[in-house]
Chain A
């Protein structure tokens, strides 16, 4: 139906994750989970999908002996998000 909209971003959870990452330098997995209130497994799948599209980069480290996953948006991801928002605007206001 919405041909110009990036299918990678045109999903509720993936769009939420990218929106969060647009406002921060990088976010850890817990922060994304707390903000989106989604299940950890579902977030993992969506992050993997975004990573495959090279929209985000994932860094896995250890913090106080606990695994710490941080996710940051890439320049390709920023460009895709901007294009997505511009296309959304076109759908909502086709005259502009």
Chain B
């Protein structure tokens, strides 16, 4: 009984296979005791029972100590193995945070569609029916979708927060609200500079994100978008819509598709 109590006390610590081994030992010990007790007619056998009892007790203690140590330390690592393990674990953790480009493609498509529709409505004379307010409704809708998508993704994958995630997230939301406020409330003050400023702010976000996640096409896309933004200061306001469409394509849609391809390749 004493042995079983000892085992129960350490039940949560010992591995299943180890437990089986100990139980086997105890069972064997108890059988010996049982048969010995049958033969305890003389003093000799009583002493033998005590000796066996003590032997089993000591062996279980030694065995248990060894197995507990094993579960704690698992295996002995060489320095090379340790470095490999660290690299592998960090790489695996990073893989779980990999961006699939979905949000970039979404925002690129929204930007492209909004300005394409504006041109289309101006050309077809339907501009009064579909005022800029109607087309820009797509931006808040995109923001709502992004919020739900990110939250769902984090919950589904059990993702913890990271420094990069926080920087990119905070920058993204700050950029979004600033662009929204500028385009709704400071349209007149900014005049012709609205679209170029919009593009430069967006470029800043994309460059930082590309550099943070170490994805070159996104970084390059951001730089090109920045050039398009600065170049837009020198062209007529009538063509700013085209700049926005080109910016959405170069800075968001193309890098987004490449990011999605890279993500798919790694998961194959």
Contacts and interface: CB of A to CB of B under 8 A. Distances in A.
Nearest to B75: A12
B217 to A, nearest CB: 23
Interface in B57-87: 71-77, 79-80, 82-83, 85-86
Contacts of B77: 10-12, 15
B265 interface: no
B74 A12 contact: yes
A25 B161 CA distance: 6
A45 B72 contact: yes
Nearest to A11: B73
A23 B162 contact: yes
A66 B97 CA distance: 24
Contact of B158 (A20, A30, A41): A30
B89 interface: yes
A27 B71 CA distance: 23
A26 B96 CA distance: 15
B128 interface: no
A31 B75 contact: no
A65 interface: no
Nearest to B14: A41
Interface string A42-65: 100110010000000000000000
B170 to A, nearest CB: 13
B12 A24 contact: no
A2 B81 CA distance: 13
Contacts of A49: 72
A27 B160 contact: yes
A22 B158 CA distance: 17
Contacts of B144: none
B123 interface: no
Given A2-B79, A15-B77, A88-B79, A28 B160 contact: yes
A42 B71 CA distance: 7
Interface of B: 12-13, 71-77, 79-80, 82-83, 85-86, 89-90, 92-94, 96, 158-163, 166
Given A12-B77, A24-B93, A88-B79, 14 more contacts: A10-B73, A10-B82, A11-B72, A11-B73, A13-B74, A15-B77, A16-B85, A19-B89, A24-B161, A31-B158, A31-B160, A84-B82, A85-B86, A92-B79
29 contacts: A1-B76, A5-B79, A10-B76, A10-B82, A11-B75, A12-B77, A15-B85, A15-B86, A19-B85, A19-B86, A19-B90, A23-B94, A23-B162, A24-B161, A25-B161, A28-B160, A31-B160, A34-B158, A35-B92, A35-B93, A35-B96, A36-B89, A41-B12, A46-B72, A49-B72, A70-B160, A88-B79, A91-B79, A92-B80
Interface of A: 1-2, 5, 10-13, 15-16, 19-20, 22-28, 30-31, 34-36, 41-42, 45-46, 49, 70, 84-85, 88, 91-92
